[in-house]
């Protein structure tokens, strides 16, 4: 037990800030599709390939990643950076993950926006892509619902919040706070 | 200009702070702030940016923030919007790091979170509803959305494939 801890401490001290930045730069540059698609790739890079943490530590990061606000990939990367090299590690991991998408989007925006409005073929392409995106968001609602809604009470709560928000035109933040407060009351009995 | 940059930063900080569950969970809030409140984008433009975000590497929230920021206020806007999305994660994880383990095991926090999840689902459904009204402008687009949703629910396809097929169908059936 003691030996294992020392071994891990040693790995932790060996990881240079530059390699943290580099690994997260790769993650930012080559993973598509956001959150749930990125987490397994982060796991492969950090736990399997570089062995910077064991799986147990990584899974505690995953729990926190999904329980605190923010982008999933980012929450996970910040915790790993922090774990390896404290504040500088966390900042470099963040910078690594956001730099490639930021740069790529700037390039696309600079070249794409000028042709975006005038070109009829670009408009035709997006005419077909828009309903595809709506379908993607709708499937995300279904799969996230299957994953997060457990039990009748949470399904009823989701339906009720949907109707109230639709009818009263509530701001999303108000809907979330209402949901959280309703959770405190509704799920109290289920709690152990 | 400075106030616009600060407004961008603050808006995306809010979006980062109230994103729970990642990915599409931040769409409802983005829609409320970017389209309805400030009019920085129209709904069709927002959908187009989501498509671009899905096809480029990196977290969708970062891609979207960079794009909207650039559209509204150039490179500086892009940088500030991106920093805004990142800020809540950094602050919460750096300041509360040590206490988070205990905090998420706190029974009240767990119950609150359990109530937040249905709210997030309800909000995504609302976003489908409102963005759908903007994207499904005729029978063709309604059919594209319906067929893609049905197929994707039966067998999960890569977003790339869905967007690529959408683009192809758009080129074929656009009312030129």
First to last CA, chain B: 39
* Structure confidence at residue A2 (pLDDT): 46
By Cβ distance, the residue of A74, A145, A180 closest to B86 is A74
CB–CB contact A137 B27 (8 Å): yes
3-state secondary structure of A143: helix
* Structure confidence at residue A133 (pLDDT): 94
d(CA A123, CA B171): 9
By Cβ distance, the residue of B20, B78, B136 closest to A131 is B136
Examine residue B159 and state whether it is found in any structural domain, yes or no: no
Chain B, window 107-136: residues with a beta carbon less than 8 angstroms from a chain A beta carbon = 107-108, 110-129, 131-132, 134-136
Examine residue B154 and state whether it is found in any structural domain, yes or no: no
DSSP A17-73: HHHHHHHHHHHHHH-BS-HHHHHHHHHIIIIIIS-SS-HHHHHHHHHHHHHSSS-HH
d(CA B135, CA B127): 12
d(CA A144, CA A142): 6
Examine residue B137 and state whether it is found in any structural domain, yes or no: no
Whether the per-residue pLDDT at B21 is higher than 90: the answer is no
Chain B, window 30-89: residues with a beta carbon less than 8 angstroms from a chain A beta carbon = 32, 44, 47-48, 50-63, 66-67, 70-71, 75, 78-79, 82, 85-86, 88-89
ipTM associated with this complex: 0.90
CB–CB contact B174 A186 (8 Å): no
The values of phi and psi at residue B57, to 5°, are -70, 160
Q: Minimal CA–CA distance to B54: which of B175, B123, B157, B168?
A: B157
Examine residue B21 and state whether it is found in any structural domain, yes or no: yes
Where is A98: in which H helix or E strand? helix A72-116
Examine residue B15 and state whether it is found in any structural domain, yes or no: yes
The dihedral sign for the CA sequence B96, B102, B108, B112: positive
Task: Give the confidence band of B20 by pLDDT, cuts at 50, 70, 90.
Answer: confident
Q: Per the structure block, which two tokens stand in for B145?
A: 């959305």
Strand partners, B57: A32
* Structure confidence at residue A151 (pLDDT): 87
Residue B151: is it exposed, middle or buried by C-beta count within 10 angstroms (0-12/13-18/19+)?
middle
CB–CB contact A183 B113 (8 Å): yes
By Cβ distance, the residue of A71, A129, A144 closest to B170 is A129
First to last CA, chain A: 32
Task: Give the orientation angle of helix B43-55 with respect to helix B159-173, to 10 degrees.
Answer: 130
Question: B111 near A183, Cβ under 8 Å?
Answer: yes
Chain B, window 13-32: residues with a beta carbon less than 8 angstroms from a chain A beta carbon = 14, 16-29, 32
3-state secondary structure of B57: strand
Chain B positions in Cβ-Cβ contact with residue A134 (cut-off 8 Å): 47, 128, 131-132, 135-136, 145
* Structure confidence at residue A190 (pLDDT): 60
Query: Rounded to a whole number, what is the distance in Å from the CA of A88 to chain B's nearest CA?
Result: 11
Query: Rounded to a whole number, what is the distance in Å from the CA of B17 to chain A's nearest CA?
Result: 5
Q: Which residue of B has its CA nearest to A164?
A: B122
Examine residue B114 and state whether it is found in any structural domain, yes or no: no
Residue B8 has a CB neighbour count (10 Å cut-off) of 27
Determine if the pTM surpasses 0.90. no
pLDDT (tens digit per residue) in B56-66: 898 888 999 99
Using CA atoms, how far residue B45 sits from A133, A170, B42, B125, B169, in Å, is 12, 23, 5, 20, 19
Chain B positions in Cβ-Cβ contact with residue A99 (cut-off 8 Å): none
* Structure confidence at residue A125 (pLDDT): 94
* Structure confidence at residue A37 (pLDDT): 74
* Structure confidence at residue A130 (pLDDT): 95
* Structure confidence at residue B25 (pLDDT): 78
Residue B172: is it exposed, middle or buried by C-beta count within 10 angstroms (0-12/13-18/19+)?
exposed
- Give the residue numbers spanning the domain of B92: 2-105
Chain B, window 134-163: residues with a beta carbon less than 8 angstroms from a chain A beta carbon = 134-136, 141-142, 144-146, 148-149, 152-153, 156, 159-160, 162-163
pLDDT (tens digit per residue) in B55-94: 889 888 899 999 999 999 999 999 999 999 999 999 999 9
pLDDT (tens digit per residue) in B107-153: 998 899 889 989 999 999 999 999 999 999 999 999 999 999 999 99
CB–CB contact B135 A176 (8 Å): no
d(CA A40, CA A181): 32
d(CA A55, CA A21): 21
Alpha helix ranges (H) inside chain B? 2-17, 27-30, 43-55, 60-105, 107-135, 139-154, 159-173
CB-based contacts of A28: which residues, under 8 Å, 6+ apart? A96, A97, A98, A99, A100, A101, B57, B58
* Structure confidence at residue B70 (pLDDT): 94
Whether the per-residue pLDDT at B51 is higher than 70: the answer is yes
Q: Per the structure block, which two tokens stand in for A34?
A: 């956001």
Examine residue B118 and state whether it is found in any structural domain, yes or no: no
Examine residue B148 and state whether it is found in any structural domain, yes or no: no
Chain A positions in Cβ-Cβ contact with residue B80 (cut-off 8 Å): none
* Structure confidence at residue A58 (pLDDT): 92
Q: Give the residue ranges of chain A where pLDDT is below 70.
A: 1-13, 33-35, 189-192
Query: Counting every residue, how long is chain A?
Result: 192
d(CA A72, CA B120): 15
Strand partners, A32: B57
Query: Rounded to a whole number, what is the distance in Å from the CA of B9 to chain A's nearest CA?
Result: 15
pLDDT (tens digit per residue) in B22-43: 667 788 899 999 999 999 999 9
What's the number of domains chain B is made of?
1
């Amino acid at each position: 037990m003691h030996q294992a801890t020392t071994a891990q401490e040693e790995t932790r001290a060996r990881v240079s800030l530059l390699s943290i930045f580099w690994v997260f730069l790769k993650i930012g540059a080559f993973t598509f599709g956001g959150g749930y698609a990125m987490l397994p790739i982060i796991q492969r890079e950090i736990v399997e390939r570089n062995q910077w943490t064991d799986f147990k530590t990584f899974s505690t990061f995953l729990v926190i990643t999904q329980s605190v606000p923010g982008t999933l990939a980012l929450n996970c990367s910040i915790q790993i950076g922090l774990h390896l090299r404290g504040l500088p590690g966390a900042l470099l991991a963040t910078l690594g993950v956001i730099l490639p998408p930021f740069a790529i989007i700037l390039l696309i925006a600079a070249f794409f926006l000028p042709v975006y409005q005038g070109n009829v073929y670009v408009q035709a392409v997006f005419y077909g892509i828009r309903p595809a995106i709506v379908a993607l968001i709708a499937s995300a609602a279904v799969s996230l619902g299957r994953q997060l809604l457990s039990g009748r009470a949470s399904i009823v709560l989701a339906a009720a919040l949907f109707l109230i928000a639709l009818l009263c035109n509530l701001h999303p933040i108000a809907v979330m706070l209402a949901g959280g407060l309703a959770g405190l009351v509704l799920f109290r009995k289920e709690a152990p | 200009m400075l106030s616009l940059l600060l407004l961008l930063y603050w808006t995306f900080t809010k979006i980062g702070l109230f994103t729970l569950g990642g990915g599409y969970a931040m769409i409802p809030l983005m829609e409320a702030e970017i389209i309805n409140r400030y009019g920085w984008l129209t709904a069709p433009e927002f959908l187009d940016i989501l498509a671009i975000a899905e096809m480029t590497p990196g977290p969708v929230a970062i891609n979207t923030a960079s794009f909207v920021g650039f559209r509204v206020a150039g490179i500086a806007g892009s940088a500030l919007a991106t920093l805004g999305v990142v800020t809540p994660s950094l602050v919460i994880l750096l300041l509360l790091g040590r206490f988070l383990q205990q905090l998420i095991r706190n029974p009240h926090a767990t119950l609150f979170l359990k109530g937040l999840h249905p709210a997030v689902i309800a909000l995504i459904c609302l976003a489908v509803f409102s963005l759908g009204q903007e994207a499904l402008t005729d029978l063709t687009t309604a059919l594209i959305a319906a067929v893609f949703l049905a197929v994707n629910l039966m067998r999960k396809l890569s977003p790339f494939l869905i967007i690529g097929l959408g683009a192809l169908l758009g080129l074929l059936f656009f009312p030129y």
